[in-house]
Structure 1
Amino acid sequence: MPYSLARLLTRLSFRQLQVFHAVCQHLSYSRAADELGLTQPAVSSQVRQLEHALGQPLFEYVGKQLYITAAGQQLEQAVISIFSDLKRLQMELAEIEGQVRGELRLAAVSTAQYVVPYLLQGFLEQFPQVDVRLEIVNRARATQRLTENRDDLVIMGMPPESNALRSTPFLTNVMIPVVRVDNPLLNSRSLDAQTFLDAKLLIREPGSGTRKALEQWCQQNRLSLNPHMELGSNAAIKHGVLAGLGVAVLPRLSVRAELKLGELACLDLEGFPLRRSWCTVHPAAKHPTPVMQAFLDYIQRAMGGLEQQVYGETL
């Protein structure tokens, strides 16, 4: 039988909740133990104590797979809320002291991974007591994380059109047509965009921001898009071009080193480069933490010099 609230408060500990949350994230006692620096029996013991205090099983095995129970799902939501409130309290107490301190949770689509370091370098110089947690995900996962309110901010191009989201552009994303340096297209005197698009185009999966930008441009210019091969990341596409599998349209930042080394070349095509914007995105109803607000304010202050810093020029 569950304890009363007064007795429950004497039986619970933040460590138990932390252990429980780690097991929820990994659905594995052993991986949770590795993350927390505990033994697997210690993790199991903490969960059993929590289950005994609540009078409900929190996990169950079906075969060899660990699943969270309905009671466990309810507790997980409560734990997320408790830890979020504690983080906010920590930040607000630091703000009272005139400091910005705490955790900044960021997610960035893979194309933005080349931009985020430039943002963080200057920000962390100003606010060295901030801890940053960064997840690199694809666009579909980034959109899902926005729906689940998993992060303080998501950095992406072409954010979903929704009144429930607030997006702020901060840097131009320049996308260019690239080929390997020995590609015959480089010797063509009358190369047009359709010929390039038909030359074994390597492209991202449906839903990718890079692909959506190219699809929109082709539609606006009445060009047909017939991909030769779909690959799951810009890095894979870049290496596909280097291997001679075909041609691609990629963010300039993602191929800057290969262009400089002479391994890839940018074609001079009418209509290119494509220009879109990277944006910070968060739920419109989200109340910014002090750290999140400090980061947003920093980006606004840094916007003027960011393109010069990232591209070496003002676009």
Structure 2
Amino acid sequence: MPYTLNQLLNRLSFRQLQVFRTVYVRQNYSRAAEELGLTQPAVSAQIRQLEQTLGQPVFEYVGKQLYVTAAGEQLMLAVRAIFADLERLQMELAELQGQVRGELRLAAVSTAQYVVPYLLEGFLKQYPQIEVRLRVVNRAQAVERLNENRDDLVIMGMVPDSRSLSSMPFLDNEMVPVVRADDPLLHQANLTPQGFLDAGLLIREPGSGTRHALEDWCSRRRLSLKPKMELGSNAAIRHGIIAGLGVAVLPKLSISAELRLGELAIPDLDGFPLRRSWCTVYPSSKHPTPVMQAFLDYVRNNLNSHYSRIYGDIANR
């Protein structure tokens, strides 16, 4: 017979829920024990007590692989809500004391990793008691994390067309054609976009925002896109161009060092640069925490200084 609410409150502890959440995320008892500073038997004991209280298993082994049960998935939904409410309470109590403190969870698409440090530098000077966790993902992963509400904010360029999302553009993202500095294309008269694309295009994996933007642009201009090679990061593409594997379209910010060193160059090509905006994005139904709102306000109130700081710093290197 299921326990009443009072019986559950008497038997459950926040420590058990914390251990459960860590095992759920790590998918492994040993790694969870290491993160929590516990022994593996101690973690197993906490999970066992939790399962006895719930009357059903939350994890199960098939062979040597740990899986979450249906009860475990339901429990995780509740645990996320409980811990989110506790974090909000902590922030609101700090706010009553005239402070803004707590954790800010950010996810940024890979191209935005060149921008986010500039935002955080000034923000953390203003709010030194805030801790930031930043995860770098591709666009497909960013959309997935938005759908699952796993972060406070996602920073991305191509925001899904959805009324369920709130977004705020804050900085231009210029995407430019890129070749090796000694590529003959730089001296080719009347180079066309199609001619450039046919010169051995290196491209990101499906799900990348850079690739999505280029595919969208080519579709609107009725250009043929036949990549020579698919690479999993902008860094790999940069090195591929330097090695002579081909050409690419990349965010200008991502090649600033190579432009300065004379390793890469930007040919003059009709239709470029492609202009997109980086945006802060979160589900519309989400009520911003004080920490989240402080970051949004900081970004909004410093739009001009962000642009001059980031692009000016790169231009002067």
Taking structure 2 as the reference length, the TM-score comes to 0.95
Alpha-carbon distance in structure 1 between the residues aligned to 2:272 and 2:171 = 18
Alpha-carbon distance in structure 1 between the residues aligned to 2:5 and 2:275 = 57
RMSD: 1.7
Query: In the alignment, what sits opposite 2:186?
Result: 186
Q: Is it true that 1:158 corresponds to 2:158 in the alignment? A: yes
Query: Structure 2 counterpart of 1:38, which letter?
Result: L
CA 1:314/1:41 → structure 2, altered by over 3 Å: closer, same or farther?
A: closer
Query: In the alignment, what sits opposite 2:85?
Result: 85
Query: In the alignment, what sits opposite 2:36?
Result: 36
Query: Structure 1 counterpart of 2:264, which letter?
Result: L
Q: How far is the alpha carbon of 1:314 from its aligned partner?
A: 12
Query: Structure 1 counterpart of 2:39, which letter?
Result: T
Alpha-carbon distance in structure 1 between the residues aligned to 2:108 and 2:147 = 15
Q: How far is the alpha carbon of 1:273 from its aligned partner?
A: 1.3
Q: How far is the alpha carbon of 1:159 from its aligned partner?
A: 0.6
Q: How far is the alpha carbon of 1:268 from its aligned partner?
A: 1.4
Query: In the alignment, what sits opposite 2:281?
Result: 281
* SS of match in other structure, 1:310: helix
Q: How far is the alpha carbon of 1:72 from its aligned partner?
A: 1.3
Matches within 5 A, 1:111-130: 111-130=111-130
Matches within 5 A, 1:125-274: 125-274=125-274
Query: In the alignment, what sits opposite 1:76?
Result: 76
CA 1:207/1:68 → structure 2, altered by over 3 Å: closer, same or farther?
A: closer
Where does the alignment leave 5 or more consecutive residues of structure 1 unmatched? Answer: none
1:147-183 alpha-carbon deviations (Å, 9 max, x no partner): 1111111100111001111111100001111111222
Q: How far is the alpha carbon of 1:3 from its aligned partner?
A: 4.4
Q: In 1, are the aligned partners of 2:178 and 2:250 still within 8 Å (CA)?
A: yes
Query: Structure 2 counterpart of 1:60, which letter?
Result: E
Q: Is it true that 1:305 corresponds to 2:305 in the alignment? A: yes
Q: In 1, are the aligned partners of 2:138 and 2:207 still within 8 Å (CA)?
A: no
* SS of match in other structure, 1:281: strand
Alpha-carbon distance in structure 1 between the residues aligned to 2:80 and 2:112 = 27
Alpha-carbon distance in structure 1 between the residues aligned to 2:158 and 2:200 = 25
Alpha-carbon distance in structure 1 between the residues aligned to 2:70 and 2:214 = 44
Query: In the alignment, what sits opposite 1:107?
Result: 107
Alpha-carbon distance in structure 2 between the residues aligned to 1:40 and 1:241 = 48
Alpha-carbon distance in structure 2 between the residues aligned to 1:197 and 1:183 = 14
Q: Is it true that 1:47 corresponds to 2:47 in the alignment? A: yes
Q: In 1, are the aligned partners of 2:103 and 2:133 still within 8 Å (CA)?
A: yes
Query: In the alignment, what sits opposite 1:56?
Result: 56
Taking structure 1 as the reference length, the TM-score comes to 0.96
Q: In 2, are the aligned partners of 1:102 and 1:291 still within 8 Å (CA)?
A: yes
1:244-295 alpha-carbon deviations (Å, 9 max, x no partner): 1110010011110111111111111122111110011111111111111111
Query: In the alignment, what sits opposite 2:25?
Result: 25
Alpha-carbon distance in structure 1 between the residues aligned to 2:103 and 2:314 = 32
Q: How far is the alpha carbon of 1:115 from its aligned partner?
A: 0.7
Q: In 1, are the aligned partners of 2:241 and 2:248 still within 8 Å (CA)?
A: yes
Q: How many residues were matched structurally?
A: 315
Alpha-carbon distance in structure 2 between the residues aligned to 1:295 and 1:204 = 30
Alpha-carbon distance in structure 2 between the residues aligned to 1:65 and 1:17 = 21
Query: Structure 2 counterpart of 1:263, which letter?
Result: E
1:92-138 alpha-carbon deviations (Å, 9 max, x no partner): 11111111111111111111111111111111110111111111111
Alpha-carbon distance in structure 2 between the residues aligned to 1:212 and 1:8 = 49
Q: How far is the alpha carbon of 1:207 from its aligned partner?
A: 3.4
* SS of match in other structure, 1:312: helix
Q: How far is the alpha carbon of 1:234 from its aligned partner?
A: 1.4
Query: Structure 2 counterpart of 1:273, which letter?
Result: P
Q: How far is the alpha carbon of 1:214 from its aligned partner?
A: 1.5
Query: In the alignment, what sits opposite 2:97?
Result: 97
Query: In the alignment, what sits opposite 1:11?
Result: 11
Q: In 2, are the aligned partners of 1:307 and 1:314 still within 8 Å (CA)?
A: no
Alpha-carbon distance in structure 1 between the residues aligned to 2:19 and 2:243 = 46
Where does the alignment leave 5 or more consecutive residues of structure 2 unmatched? Answer: none
Alpha-carbon distance in structure 2 between the residues aligned to 1:277 and 1:4 = 52
Aligned-pair identity (%): 71
Alpha-carbon distance in structure 2 between the residues aligned to 1:253 and 1:79 = 40
- With 219-228 and 82-91 compared, the bigger mean Cα shift is at 219-228
Q: How far is the alpha carbon of 1:313 from its aligned partner?
A: 7.8
Query: Structure 1 counterpart of 2:304, which letter?
Result: G
Alpha-carbon distance in structure 2 between the residues aligned to 1:17 and 1:287 = 24
